[in-house]
Structure 1
């Protein structure tokens, strides 16, 4: 797939325009996002992804379109697991409801920039070293096993990472929020506010999730452009999904198992692809191993099928066990 430079610039420019428009709407009238509003925005971003995928189909063919959709669905479903952590971060920092949308938007922009760097490094490594597929496969299979062990349990506490601890050493942080400001001057001294801390918490935490989601999508497509755009569309729609899911989030009790199956499946797919492209001298004398590869149609079918089964099974289980619905949503947690 040949992607000219102008298309890269146009795509990034379009994403920047959407982000700026969203920031204007947020800053123009800060408010607590309602479920109805979140639903409209989620549908908007899903529609954008569908239109983009249709464009890929029209100009590059069905195979690349299938790779984009498989990558987008995988990244979006993996991002849902991020929401559990986002909820905990919002609650830990007691983010006011009217500022949660801005926090998520800026945090996700930070995450998208860092993921872009990660994708560029990954694409360069894959182009030069075929054994990187083995490494990616190992990461995915390890993560799948960890998700199975985690089961339906999720951590209820958030521990600040090194980036945030370093920032706190470099700058004093106010106890209270000062509207949507990230920095303020008090008695001539510059202070950071909890707003910048929580934004960086969202962005840096997402990078940890990228350590398994980026290898996962490289298992579905090696086209850097599709990897980047699938991540962009998934992340842009993620913050609205945070408000839309609300009480449904804890009802997805089998989500970890579903994601484990998907990551394990893609891990196996990567192993087969690595064997097919093998250049390691201690495997088959450094020659490619004639193994069957899993096509994108099968991959897309497995991913969608697993997500449907996981969601339906989770909702049935939650209905039989009403106690799992005790979760009160992002707004309630932010006010505790």
Structure 2
């Protein structure tokens, strides 16, 4: 049993809010394009903070809590890399100037953290109340892993998803960014800038990503504090990581395959845990240290294999997965079919 003292909850929440406020000041006080040196510094800083927190948790609550945190953080960090692909696509489709990108990322991350906190609370309540929750999470992750493989070469249509499309219909949208504002006046009327649509696109796609990541981290630990902190510290460094690896993302051609293997492995871990608890104690479980080793091994093999593949075939580029994002092609075909009738 992992013991998380109340003071650690309070201190951690204050620390995370302070980090976000600090990040907000750094990112918003002076809009600018983020270069490699700055991105590297902040990426190393947030990784060091996340790792340091893991050791503090290890010292306060024991090796089991520390191991589960590191496993959960690695899972969330690896899944968040896929978010970066979508961010690249969104910024390109909306032609977001570089000086406004980190502002968008920061507020998008804040929204993601609030959303995931709600989902974590719901997931924790479900895990406590219903023993079959682990079975459900396991099946969801297996389905996601299969879909991720099937659609690994698809590119999501993020700029025309349901919310963005309807926002265009309802709201008066200008083509100018107006200094990074969300709302402005143009020709005597109040209008929204493309930056608001970017926020909507990032927020709506993160809802879908959360449906993968929350069950995945519950496959590593059922402790709400560890689930929350693994998500929080993985998300906090995402802004800097985006600018650091933006040019390298397209080289990770096997990322979708690697992530699908990780999700499938965690799904098996969840299903074995369910069987051990509800069917027979003779069913073996996968220990967390082994899970951490397997996940790190998959990520290492994925990165090395991707770089070797790109070196041999430089024309190949990685794509963001489109597992849960609406396919515009399907809707187009459906419209054409109805028109033909």
1:231 and 1:137, CA in 2 relative to 1: closer, same or farther beyond 3 A? same
Equivalent position of 1:158 in the other structure: 158
1:320 paired residue number? 312
Partner of 2:333: none
Aligned to 1:127: 128
Deviations 1:135-172 (A, max 9, x none): 10011111111122234x24064243333344444432
**Cross-structure match for 1:290:** 282
* Structure 2 counterparts to residues 1-336 of structure 1, below 5 A: 1-151=2-152, 153-155=153-155, 157-186=157-186, 189-278=189-278, 288-324=280-316
Inter-partner Cα distance in structure 1 for 2:42 and 2:294: 27
Equivalence for 2:328: none
TM-score, length of structure 1 as denominator length: 0.90
Tell me if the contact between 1:67 and 1:221 (Cα under 8 Å) persists in the aligned partners: yes
Change (3 A) 1:162 1:156: closer
In 2, Cα distance between the equivalents of 1:111 and 1:27? 18
Q: Secondary structure at the match of 1:176?
A: coil
Q: Secondary structure at the match of 2:311?
A: helix
After superposition, give the CA deviation of every residue in 1:80-117 in whole Å (9 maximum; x if it has no partner).
11111111111111100111111111111111111111
Structure 2 unaligned residues grouped into runs of 5+:
320-341
In 2, distance between residues paired with 1:171 and 1:98?
25
Call closer, same or farther: CA 1:197–1:8 in 2, change over 3 Å.
Answer: farther
2:185 counterpart SS class: strand
Using a 3 Å threshold, how does the CA distance of structure 1 residues 114 and 107 change in structure 2: closer, same or farther?
same
Using the TM superposition, give the Cα deviation of residue 236 of structure 1 relative to its aligned residue in structure 2, in angstroms: 1.2
SS of equivalent residue, structure 2 residue 158: coil
Figure out how many residues of one structure are paired with residues of the other and give that number.
318
TM-score normalised by structure 2 residue count? 0.88
- RMSD of aligned alpha carbons: 1.8
What secondary structure, in the 3-state scheme, does the structure 2 residue paired with 1:247 have? coil
Q: CA deviation at 1:223?
A: 0.6
Matches of 1:244 and 1:26 in 2, distance apart?
A: 15
Kindly indicate whether the alpha-carbon contact (under 8 Å) linking 1:93 and 1:194 is maintained by their aligned counterparts in 2.
yes
| Distance in 2 separating the partners of 1:88 and 1:167 | 19
Structure 1 CA distance, aligned partners of 2:185 and 2:6? 43
